[in-house]
Chain A
Amino acid sequence: MIELRDVHKVYSNGTNALKGIDINIDQGEFLFIVGPSGAGKSTFTKLLLREETPSSGSVMVNGYNLVKMRRSKIPYLRRTIGVVFQDFRLIDNKTIYENVAFAMRVIGASPKNIRKRVPYVLGLVGLASKAKSFPREISGGEQQRVALARALVNNPAIIIADEPTGNVDPQMSREIMDLLCEINKRGTTVLVVTHDHDIVQEYDKRVITIKDGVIVSDKEGGK
């Protein structure tokens, strides 16, 4: 499902972000990518989304060869990946419902499907009652769940959560993590990118640690 072989990434400014990464992630896995800032975590996620291409090596995601991929195919790759951003990136002048529906609308989903799918996903993240609210009217934790709902709504095979615990209090962190586990149980691969060791310790999952552009450990079970 995700397969990186000897991936190197050198940016044009000379920064050597990744120095030979090998990763294999199977369908339905839940894993943490941890490491201090500047370790190469964000380069790694950018590679998966084909925002960046590797300087050398190969990247396969959901059956797409990201090195040989044509630019026009990128949107179709991204439809198989849901991203939850640390800063949520909700559209302020759209309601919660519209924010989630927007993600379906812009990939050309039919209005009928949107009307069916959006309430279902909002129910899944426990926000059915807030559908008509605007982002500024709800809490940070709720905003994050909206971001998660939006990532989920197009039924991606992979969810990438970027620092999901970074902007919310510990109580909220636990809620969002539990939600991600729940989603994972339904068969979606979940990748949590974080530098929060506490949260990693709490969950018994696979943890890949990146430091200075190389994988320093890859082990099952966070404890």
Chain B
Amino acid sequence: MGERLSYFLKDVFKSIWRNRMMALASLFVLVSCMLIMGTSVIISFNINAVAEKIENQNEIVIFLRDDITQAELTDLERSIERDSRITKSIYFSKEQALQEYIEQQDGDEYLYESLKEDNVLPASFRLSFDNSDGKISDSVSTFEKMAGVEKIRFNKDLVDKVDNFSKIINFVGIWLIIVLAIVSLFIIQNTIKIALFTRKKEINIMKYVGATDSFIQAPFVLEGVLIGIVSSAVAFGIQYILYQKVISGILDSFGIDLISAVPFSEMQLYILVPFALTGLIVGGIGSLMSIRKYLQV
């Protein structure tokens, strides 16, 4: 069996080598297709991570008008106490807000002297809700109507925006993948067609001496599948380098905790499996498609 197998593999590699320009072209297109696929996986992973972080915070911030009266403040405090779903409520005075702002800006206090003199930062209530998916927006609209409230910052808006964005990315990504998969299928099919053509005589002889169809097909299918598998390995490597060096670098440079890059190791399975499947399916089906026409002797 070993000898037969080595003959078989030698034939396959010979055929790929003879056809190397086409094989390389198929590889190139397949890798491009996979990279786009992988990039959209990475983008949606990162977007989802951001959305999750925002959602988990479950916080709203009620900014107060500078001219809020003591009565209005007490009123607001009572409403907050009455809302059973609020688990935590912290009052932040204008001074505390300023202090926090300065700390966030690396705390070089004296640069902010002018800010201190004329503090434009509003006082606020920071409210945490329990995670029971209640309608935070109900509470929000209640507080919004109350006197002395300047504005409410509500993460839900942001979550919705992020969600919409990721939907668009997914939609575009899926169509790109479909189109590119069809293009790769076409290219693989042509590669195998040329491989078949250069071995037309051999195939013809095989048919006459009584080789079975599967015996004739096997090397060509393997050739297609091999191109597919090599493509997925190459694409995975490029994707890894690209992510480590470029994308995560950009994301991390924002320096904001919310937008830190998802580690590659968490996504690698979701990248590798689609890559390998695309390689196998496109390579296998592409070659089978072109062989079928040829075998009708």
Minimum CB–CB distance for B11 against chain A, Å? 10
A89 to chain B, nearest CB (A): 6
Tell me if B90 counts as interface (CB < 8 A to partner A).
no
Q: Report how far A49 CA is from B201 CA in the complex, Å.
A: 17
Query: What residues on A are CB-neighbors of B269 within 8 Å?
Result: none
Q: Tell me how far the C-beta of B66 lies from the nearest C-beta in chain A, rounded to whole angstroms.
A: 88
The residue among A74, A75, A78, A83 with the most chain B CB atoms within 10 A of its own CB is: A75
Nearest chain A CB to B295 CB, angstrom units: 10
Q: Looking at chain B's contact residues, is the secondary structure mostly helix, strand, loop, or mixed? A: helix
Contact A79 B201 (CB under 8 A): no
> A78-B207, A105-B7 are known contacts. Are A89 and B201 too (CB-CB below 8 A)?
yes
Q: Are A106 and B215 in contact (CB under 8 A)?
A: yes
> How many residues from A make CB contacts under 8 Å with B?
23
The reply to whether B206 and A106 form a contact with Cβ atoms under 8 Å apart is yes
What chain B residues lie within 8 Å of A106 (beta carbons)?
A: 205-206, 209, 211, 215-216
- Provide the residues of chain B in CB contact with A72, threshold 8 Å: 212-213
A51 CB-CB contact with B under 8 Å: yes
Assembled-state Cα–Cα distance A78/B216 (Å)? 15
Q: Indicate with 1 or 0, residue by residue over A44-65, a CB within 8 angstroms of chain B CB atoms.
A: 0000010100000000000000
Residues of the A chain whose Cβ atoms lie less than 8 Å from the Cβ of B208: 49, 78, 83
Partner of B205, one of A77, A91, A111: A91
Contact flag A79-B209 (CB < 8 Å), given A51-B297, A111-B3 = yes
Interface residues of B (CB under 8 A from A): 3-4, 7, 201-202, 204-213, 215-216, 297
Chain A residues in the interface with B (C-beta under 8 A): 49, 51, 72, 74-79, 82-83, 89, 91, 102-103, 105-108, 110-111, 150, 154
